[in-house]
Amino acid sequence: MNTVEEFYNDFMQQIYVAADTGEDFKVSQFFDKAMEYLVEDGTVGDYTYLPYKKTGMRVDGYELIEDREILNLFICDYTDTDELASLTNTDIETAVKRITNFFIQSVDQKLYENLEETRPGYAIAYFLYHNKDRFHSVNIILVSNKKLSKTVKKLPAAKLDNYNVSYDIWDIGRFYEIETSKNKKETLVIDLETDFDATIPSLSAHMQTSPYASYLSVVSGELLAQLYEKYGSRLLESNVRSFLQFRAKINKGIRKTINEEPEMFFAYNNGITATAEEVELNAQNEITKIKNFQIVNGGQTTASLFNTKKADKVGLDNIFVQMKLTVINDEKVNEIVPNIAKYANTQNKVSDADFFSNDIYHIRMEEKSRRIWAPAKEGELKGTKWFYERARGQYLEVQSKLTDAKKREFKAVHPKSQMFSKTDLAKYLMVWENKPQIVSRGAQKNFKAFGEIIVPRWNKNDKEFNDLYYMHTIAKIIIFKACDYMVYREPWYGGYKANIVAYTLSTLSYLLEKEKKNIDFSAIWKRQEVPAYFLKELQRISKYINDYITNTPENFTNVSEWCKKDICWTNLKEILDNTDQLKLSEEFLEHMITLEEVKYEEKEAKKEQAVDNSLALMTKMFKLSPEIWQEVMQWGSEKNLLSSTQIQFLNLIPSGKFPTDKQSKKILEIIMYLEDEGMKSVW
């Protein structure tokens, strides 16, 4: 991708995928896409989308960061145009005036009392008024699909009584810079001397021949607390951030040591492991500036230092933390940093699911998405493919290497409407796991929960994730998108679309389980669209769900928060179990298939995947060098694990012979046997 204009065009095309929709729906899509960048960057975590606008007032969502007592308020500046527009001082001032008016009206004048309780505006206004003592700083974040004008020289300077106010602008240029950067995150440069009046003493810990620089350092607890206060989870490597969901919680051991034995902190604490893209050192070998500093192990130590200082009003002058810092600045940064995070965290309570983002599951899904053609829809001549974006930016990166003609051809085969990311995938599938409350908690928490479900299944039998699984996944995506599109157009719709869709599909899944029936996902895959009878059922269920979630219990006034609670889903299931308020129609059930049919289909698909797995291994087997084969035979012989016949089998390929299918299978069995006995994997 060469220019920001080209990026804007592609970015907007993804918004326009939902053609013939209202302006508000496009704004919500833009907001979701913008938040993906902010969440991945670490600027935002568990945000809530509650759009409200009225003359002179506007807000699009909020996030309360409890441990740092910060309120993030979001406002959109969206323009529906094909040409990239400029974000001017006037645009910024108007947006700031509208959102500050809303904040003041909510906090000082009980705005919620004048709003309809079932609307998103009521929920956010109510939250602000009743939680105004839980935050001391307000960060107003403006997200825009315009490009920040060069005439904008400084951020706004509006004030809010009793609160520290800061402003952050995310324009299309900022999104473009992240998309085109190699680590897909905004560059974070920490100037220790200028911003914190500090340096970090360091000792070089790498050999001259080492491809990466490493340093051993001692960091003051005060500096770590200050860094966390200013940058928060932006300092935490994404895998670490995904499981570090302990906001406002303090490690008891760390707290006790700080308060009672601060001089022993260095001895008791394991320290932190960190990475950076670049560092600057002074003549005394002290680190003065760090680029893209990421804590891959020790996030809890860092956050607990800050929280203990704040909660107990204690100084951290006598607290010091050891740090191992690795400087990585090459094309392998996205591969190496997650591995450092994984291995550095092996002593902590971190499951494989915490590192699910880089798991082989996603590699297989990516492979299938590139290989498997979706059937042509009725009335169309050519089939297409669904594009699984395993890593952010893949869809655009592939096109950047193509000529204009090839790019058009690529888009014809891979329409933007059929591109989906890892967090999208988790959302689409978790509703069918009957987890609408988890889907409602946001992309990151849902993705982690998805990993906790998938990893054990993969470890038990990876053949479950076969071509049929992929095709059924696409069918589920088609249903989800159809439901999402339909809900927005219903006459009763007034907000909370994401929650309504999640609960609607999980309710459908739950009701089918009660009937011992299943959706014919293969049929939907073949049609590449949802039949009319299916949409009719979704309309009926979604109307019921809307009434259910907006009729919150007395102790819940915020619909979004209510939908995140386990009890919201539990109560709904009890209603479905004990009343006749909602039943699947006979017309709908006629098109469903039996569980026996599903099991037979899945059984056959597993057999096919087993063959695919064997073929893939055989392909790799023929690519092994003679040296590797020699090492395998030597290792097995030294351990007295190989017979002369087995050695003859292993020697077939390195001697230039082509084994039969039966012999190839035998060779694979021998290699897997040796690996089970402790030999290092040859793959």
How many Å apart are CA 385 and CA 397, to the nearest integer? 17
Per the listing, tokens 């009335």 go with 379
pLDDT at 74: 96
CA distances from residue 258 to 219, 227, 301, 306, 575 in whole angstroms, order as listed: 15, 18, 11, 11, 50
Per-run averaged pLDDT (10 residues), the chain, 683 residues: 83 72 75 88 84 93 88 94 92 94 94 88 92 92 94 78 89 89 77 94 80 89 92 71 46 86 89 91 94 87 88 89 87 60 53 61 90 86 90 82 88 92 94 97 89 89 86 96 92 92 97 92 92 96 96 87 95 93 92 81 68 66 84 88 87 82 78 78 71
Task: Write down the number of H helices and E strands in the chain.
Answer: 29, 19
Q: Which helix (H) or strand (E) segment is 412 a member of?
A: helix 404-413
Question: Closest Cα to residue 436, out of 479, 525, 499?
Answer: 499
Tokens describing residue 33: 């896409």
Question: Closest Cα to residue 125, out of 94, 144, 104?
Answer: 104
Q: Is 146:172 a contact under the CB 8 Å cutoff?
A: yes
Name the CA dihedral angle for 127, 131, 136, 137, rounded to a multiple of 10 degrees: -10
pLDDT at 294: 87
Tokens describing residue 143: 């997200």
Give the residues across from 218 on adjacent strands.
322
569's CB contacts (< 8 A; 6+ apart) are 434, 435, 436, 437, 503, 506
How many Å apart are CA 121 and CA 50, to the nearest integer? 6
Q: Tell me phi and psi for residue 170, to 5 degrees.
A: -115, 100
Q: Is the dihedral of CA 166, 171, 175, 176 positive or negative?
A: negative
- With left for phi above 0 and alpha for psi between -120 and 50, is residue 495 left, alpha or beta? left
Give the residues across from 593 on adjacent strands.
518
Per the listing, tokens 């098109």 go with 591
Q: Is 366:355 a contact under the CB 8 Å cutoff?
A: no
Domains of the chain with bracketed CATH:
4-180 (3.40.1350), 189-350 (no CATH), 360-575 (no CATH), 599-676 (no CATH)
Give the residues across from 139 on adjacent strands.
72, 166
Tokens describing residue 536: 């009719």
Q: Which long-range contacts (CB under 8 A, 24 or more apart) does 91-97 make?
A: 91/144, 91/146, 92/142, 92/152, 92/155, 92/156, 92/169, 93/156, 95/58, 95/142, 96/140, 96/142, 96/156, 96/158, 96/167, 97/56, 97/158
How many Å apart are CA 455 and CA 123, to the nearest integer? 37
**Quick one: how far is CA 227 from the chain centroid?**
24
**Quick one: how far is CA 82 from the chain centroid?**
29
Question: Closest Cα to residue 184, out of 66, 49, 36?
Answer: 36
pLDDT at 345: 56
Question: What's the DSSP call for residue 3?
Answer: -
Three-state SS string over 529-548 comes to CCCHHHHHHHHHHHHHHHHH
Question: Closest Cα to residue 142, out of 94, 70, 82?
Answer: 94
State which amino acid sits at residue 126. Y
How many Å apart are CA 648 and CA 660, to the nearest integer? 14
Tokens describing residue 166: 């800061």
Name the CA dihedral angle for 150, 154, 157, 162, rounded to a multiple of 10 degrees: 120
Per the listing, tokens 């909660």 go with 311
CA distances from residue 320 to 215, 217, 269, 272, 325 in whole angstroms, order as listed: 16, 10, 9, 11, 15
Tokens describing residue 578: 């004990």
